[in-house]
Structure 1
Amino acid sequence: MATPALLRAAILVVSTTASQDPSTDAAIPALQSVFETDGDGKWDVTETHIVSDDAKAMQQQIRKWADTSNNPVNLVVTTGGTGFAISDITPEAVSEIIEKPAPGLVHGMLAASLQVTPFAIMSRPVAGVRKGTVIVTLPGSPKGAKENLQAILKMLPHACALAAGMDSRSLHKGGVKKLEQEAGVSSSPAAVPSHAHNRGHTHNHGGHSHVHGHNHGSHAGHGHGLVRHAPPEDAPPATPLSNDPSLGPTRRNRASPYPMLSVDEALGRIDEFTPGSVEAERPVNEDLVGFVLARDVYAAEDVPAFRASIVDGYAVVVPKDSTTESKTLSGIFPVTSVSHAAPDEAKVLRDGEIARITTGAPLPAGANAVVMVENTVLHALTEDGAEEREVEIRAANVRDGDNVREVGSDVRKGQLLLRKGDKITAVGGEVGLLASAGVQHVTICRRPVVGVLSTGNEIVEHTTRPPSMLRLGEVRDTNRPTLLLAAQEWGFDTVDLGIVVDQPQTLEQRLRDALRQVDVIVTTGGVSMGELDLLKPTIERALGGTIHFGRVSMKPGKPTTFATVLVKETRRSSFVGEGESVVSSGHSTRRLVRTIFSLPGNPASALVTFHLFVLPALHKMSGEHTRGLPRVPVTLSHDFSLDKERPEYHRAMVSVGADGVLRATSTGGQRSSKVGSMRGANALLCMPAGPEPLKAGVKVDALLMSNIRSEL
């Protein structure tokens, strides 16, 4: 039997979380990239599937791929559930259906991992053959799965060919050297995939990973709770572009290795890699304001729940034969009861009797209409003079149901009140509507918690020293309080992460601690090209994060950096707000994506890039449909100079005059370090690059940071 031109591979993700929300899975694209980049053109990934941590579901899917007589897949790789957690049952489930164990493949994966850390002995992979299909279990973290697959991928075509029925004698003709040459491997020690020891290594526990840092002897690298798996040195997509701080200033990059992205491209990557919203349940009260609903909300009861009077007056009994024709009620009637809005049991009203009633009060049984008090005259009092005994009614055109609010006439039980995606406001009446319809709790999109960290040896608390007493080189921290207030103004809870010095291990540990406290980390400083600009190297090399962009073609804010890091949640997050409970998937351990925005250190740059890049990500995580600053066209009130090379986000004041025209005025000098340029600014003007100034009267787009001023 000849080896097929392309071997068919299938990827099975074992994850309860991903089975409920496939958008959280990163393993499938990671493994597909391995087959494409390292598979020598021999593989075609034809099948992918996600199942929960359930043995029967795993076995059923593998049998579907392997047991079919019509073109079965050659290779099944599973990812997840290979650790020591209670829910980790992938090795046991797969072992039950394997017909021929393949311990050599397991040894190959473990040997590659043991080149990095002894903790590789904690991994529990299995491999083998069922029918004509090779099956291999991989760790749950995308990077760990990639590394293990890369360790054995060169040998798998040979294994698949034999499993599919190829004659071993003809396949082995030419000896081992020929097989090694065809596979592109060597029997020398270099054949074992090597890993740089300034990287971290991860092992999978329960489909998730612990970090074991190997940063030149740094003990701060253990950081259990962070998920990462260092890629091999020869994997181009995962090779860090950042400087290696251990090499010293003479070997650092002299120009940024990160591609220059346009603002739109950067926003696209933020939207692509920022995680979606997390559902939580909250009680219906005033604290609900600002949240976006994650699910439709239906009325729990009728409003009103009883037939109620719309006016102050008298409940009457209109003869049934007058339902369709108006009737004049006149005469003197005895007042037999009183119905107030307060809960009470009113006396049954009979024909010829009336009951005094107040607005909102329930109609007495038997009554079917209300006559307004303006159409009545007091006729007689009780003996003590305290109550009405008889009232004369002079009303024309009275019908059954007049001045009566019927049961459910405002809201019917089960009626859709608010839709998924609606935002609860303080002025829109949403809380009142929910409360009136008996809704006690709603499911919302939890708002992310934002942590702000300032970096730099020169940065000191703004209250540290009296005026004019700063030491040479010291700079007061203005970015952190400014960004904390900006996030709070947009409705987000914040955590002050303080100031950290430019020292690799200290910065790494501070970021690790922050990743356990907040959903989004915003840092300022340390993202340029200096030898002490450590944010990018720390994110990539120490935390195993992914930098999605490191430069943006804009002014100010060119070195803005956006990254994501995987963390492992092992208990209920401390981020959950008061009265709030996260809607759980039922899985005790989840991999969570944390976002890091590393903004420039200059004050104007930091605030501009926060509004331009961080705010849309926060809105996405909050479930908002409209993200970022609102955009409006404005007219320039004077000439504006342009940057010749980069588009500029010019700080400006936008106001409206009596003619209704929005006009923009510059706040002055726009140097990125000039914090005064933000004073009074309520908008960022989207100015194009160009050699000549834009003249007064030209229209441009403005991104509004706060309310428009009135010139009146």
Structure 2
Amino acid sequence: MPESKPLRASILIISTTASKDPSTDTSGGVLTEVFEKDGAGKWDIQEVEIVGDDVLDIQRSITAWADQEDAVNLIITTGGTGFAIHDSTPEAVTPLLHKQAPGLVHGMLAASLAVTPCAKENLQSVLKLLPHACLQAAGADSRTLHKGGVKKLEQDAGLGSTVSSQPSHSHGHSHGHSHGHGHGHHGHAMPTRHTTPSENPRSNDPSLGPTRRSRSSPYPMLSVDEAIKLIKEHTPAPHITKAKVNGILVGSVLAEDVTAAEAVPAYRASIVDGYAVIVSSGKISSKGVFPVASISTATPGEIAPLEPGQITRITTGAPLPPGATSVVMVEDTALKTMTEDGKEEKEVEILAEDVKDGENVREVGSDIKKGEIILKKGEEISAIGGELGLLASVGRADVAVYKKPIIGVLSTGDEIVEHNRPGELRLGEVRDCNRPTIISAVRGWGFEVVDLGIARDKPGALEETLRAALRKVDMVITSGGVSMGELDLLKPTIERSLGGTIHFGRVSMKPGKPTTFATVIPSQQLSLYISSCCLLYITSPEYHLLDYPEF
């Protein structure tokens, strides 16, 4: 077997009960014993850890082992794979895997079900196959490993001829140590990483040159939820301003509850075309022929009071005349006589027999009452959600909203050229597709955008560009310059030149692992900044830096 030292394994036990009382767990000891008795001296157990049935806790433990300086070769998990509500191990582990080994899975199932479906039998069934798989996953040359053929592999693994049908050549990358090290898709090559990050205190110092730069990220890996929590904790409260109720309000977020300044409708209105009548003692005064005393249409103006024995012709949405109680639909009437000029109704017969008080009438405030809360603090004013119309309908001329930042979009990199530059690309040049994409996305959310162009990979030039940007806009979204190369200058520029404090530098997501958030307190400028993409937001005595990777 071409290994020089034992392979390193860690065991993760997923059990809420055992995490509270480790004495209740027996699986950790059983699995450790399997490695000792059946592992042929090829394994060194690094750690046995117990966590509860929580996706983030499971992922945090696995990524910690996978990203440490000398990453383990194998991670064994047990527990949390059933059908109970809190059994979530597969959901936690699957997103961390780059490759899966279904052959090993079937082998484990077949072996364990022949006895009993327990962790011990699962591990025993594949343990002798795992050293070969781990060596390949760690980057060993396959040709060298396979020299000597299947018989040599079986001999190295301690397998007899009776198990020669087992997938001894399987490339079982079933552990999680290779997750998160690349953002390739659509067939792109994945970056290969052979060591893991150490906890260095600061980002690269460009003045020291490539021989002194950090060889691994100084930032621990956080979950997306943890990153968002930190951003919320360190982002200052936005300014509150009054904004006119018009189209410019789209995309704004309300800073207070909004109440109706007036009722809707503001008057008793008819919901049909017909005739306003007076109902007495719960029914129309007399079924028969009535003179048409007036006309009420959906136009402003005074309407004469309606007297008993009279009716008023009324249109949909028009106000009822004073004294009227109900409306009879035009379909329930008949024309009896007309005026002398033949242009208007003089008398109309009411055919309805059981008209109730308030029938076919929309009462004052039946849609919205005066003083009623119509929109809540924190709601967004959208272009198609009807919020603008609702505000306008109750007479609100302005509302309190959180001030929308003006957003600048910046690309960085010596290799970046304008997307519309004529001519063919030279070797090493890349057209800037990120900036137009980000600009259109930000505008789509209703924000004002300033195009800041392309900044070159020069420390002084980048600092000057960022300081100039802060004088124009409230936020800067940038693309590029946040990886581990000596020309990835955004983090050190923010940290060293602008005096920033980086709160996190990596997030467990693909794409997006080198996502960074920091606060900066410049002398007289206050902003929020997010890089690659980067966001810079002026609101209170600090910047905020959030780094996203390139799209």
TM-score band w.r.t. shorter chain: 0.5 to 0.7
Contact 1:520/1:594, CA 8 A, preserved across alignment? no
Deviations 1:273-315 (A, max 9, x none): 2334432222223443333222111111122222222221112
Deviations 1:334-353 (A, max 9, x none): 11211111112122221111
Contact 2:201/2:218, CA 8 A, preserved across alignment? no
Matched with 1:308 is 269
Distance 2:468 2:255 in 1: 29
Find 1:548's aligned residue among 499, 503, 508: 503
Relative to structure 1, is the Cα distance of residues 433 and 568 closer, same or farther in structure 2, using a 3 angstrom cutoff? Answer: farther
Matched with 1:395 is 352
Question: SS at the partner of 1:271?
Answer: helix
Find 2:468's aligned residue among 498, 513, 518: 513
User: Which letter maps to 1:329?
Assistant: S
User: Which letter maps to 1:447?
Assistant: K
> What percentage of residue pairs aligned between the two structures are identical?
62
Matched with 2:31 is none
User: Which letter maps to 2:429?
Assistant: E
Greater Rg by CA:
2
Q: How many angstroms does 1:244 deviate by?
A: 2.8
Distance 1:436 1:569 in 2: 43
Find 1:291's aligned residue among 248, 252, 263: 252
Matched with 2:484 is 529
Contact 1:448/1:492, CA 8 A, preserved across alignment? yes
Deviations 1:471-511 (A, max 9, x none): 33222222222222333344443322111111111110111
Distance 1:567 1:317 in 2: 74
Runs of 4 or more, structure 1, over 6 Å off, are 568-571
Distance 1:570 1:329 in 2: 79
Contact 1:329/1:398, CA 8 A, preserved across alignment? no
Matched with 2:548 is 599
Question: SS at the partner of 2:353?
Answer: strand
Deviations 1:21-59 (A, max 9, x none): xxxxxxxxxxxxxxxxxxxxxxxxxxxxxxxxxxxxxxx
Matched with 1:423 is 380
Distance 1:553 1:286 in 2: 39
Contact 1:333/1:353, CA 8 A, preserved across alignment? yes
Matched with 2:343 is 386
Relative to structure 1, is the Cα distance of residues 369 and 544 closer, same or farther in structure 2, using a 3 angstrom cutoff? Answer: same
Distance 1:441 1:569 in 2: 31
Distance 2:286 2:382 in 1: 47
Matched with 2:162 is none
Q: How many angstroms does 1:400 deviate by?
A: 2.8
Deviations 1:56-76 (A, max 9, x none): xxxxxxxxxxxxxxxxxxxxx
Residue 351, structure 1, aligned to residue 308, structure 2? yes
Question: SS at the partner of 1:397?
Answer: coil
Matched with 1:232 is none
Contact 1:521/1:597, CA 8 A, preserved across alignment? no
Deviations 1:561-608 (A, max 9, x none): 22222357789x9xxxxxxxxxxxxxxx974433333333xxxxx23x
Contact 1:329/1:394, CA 8 A, preserved across alignment? no
Q: Which residues of 2 match residues 411-450 of structure 1 at below 5 A?
A: 411-450=368-407
Distance 1:359 1:569 in 2: 61
Distance 1:372 1:484 in 2: 55
What is the root-mean-square deviation of aligned Cα atoms in Å?
2.8
Q: How many angstroms does 1:264 deviate by?
A: 4.1
Contact 2:278/2:285, CA 8 A, preserved across alignment? no
Question: SS at the partner of 2:287?
Answer: strand
Contact 1:290/1:425, CA 8 A, preserved across alignment? yes
Matched with 2:364 is 407
Distance 1:493 1:478 in 2: 20
Distance 1:269 1:545 in 2: 15
User: Which letter maps to 1:596?
Assistant: L
User: Which letter maps to 1:422?
Assistant: E
User: Which letter maps to 2:232?
Assistant: D
Relative to structure 1, is the Cα distance of residues 569 and 376 closer, same or farther in structure 2, using a 3 angstrom cutoff? Answer: farther
Q: How many angstroms does 1:249 deviate by?
A: 3.1
Question: SS at the partner of 1:470?
Answer: coil
Question: SS at the partner of 1:435?
Answer: helix
User: Which letter maps to 2:220?
Assistant: P
Contact 1:455/1:501, CA 8 A, preserved across alignment? yes
Matched with 1:338 is 295
Find 1:565's aligned residue among 504, 515, 520: 520
Matched with 1:613 is none
Matched with 1:685 is none
- TM normalised by structure 2 equals 0.57
Distance 1:363 1:388 in 2: 18
Q: Which residues of 2 match residues 152-301 of structure 1 at below 5 A?
A: 241-301=202-262
User: Which letter maps to 2:542?
Assistant: V
Relative to structure 1, is the Cα distance of residues 360 and 297 closer, same or farther in structure 2, using a 3 angstrom cutoff? Answer: same
Contact 2:237/2:539, CA 8 A, preserved across alignment? no
Distance 2:489 2:539 in 1: 29
Q: How many angstroms does 1:392 deviate by?
A: 1.5
Contact 2:270/2:316, CA 8 A, preserved across alignment? yes
Deviations 1:134-190 (A, max 9, x none): xxxxxxxxxxxxxxxxxxxxxxxxxxxxxxxxxxxxxxxxxxxxxxxxxxxxxxxxx
Q: How many angstroms does 1:536 deviate by?
A: 1.7
Q: Which residues of 2 match residues 616-695 of structure 1 at below 5 A?
A: none
Flag the structure with higher strand content.
1
Residue 501, structure 1, aligned to residue 456, structure 2? yes
Distance 1:356 1:404 in 2: 14
Deviations 1:243-274 (A, max 9, x none): 33233333333333333434443333233223
User: Which letter maps to 1:528?
Assistant: S
Distance 1:302 1:380 in 2: 39
Unaligned runs of 5+ in 2: 1-199, 529-537
- TM normalised by structure 1 equals 0.45
User: Which letter maps to 2:487?
Assistant: L
Q: How many angstroms does 1:542 deviate by?
A: 0.8
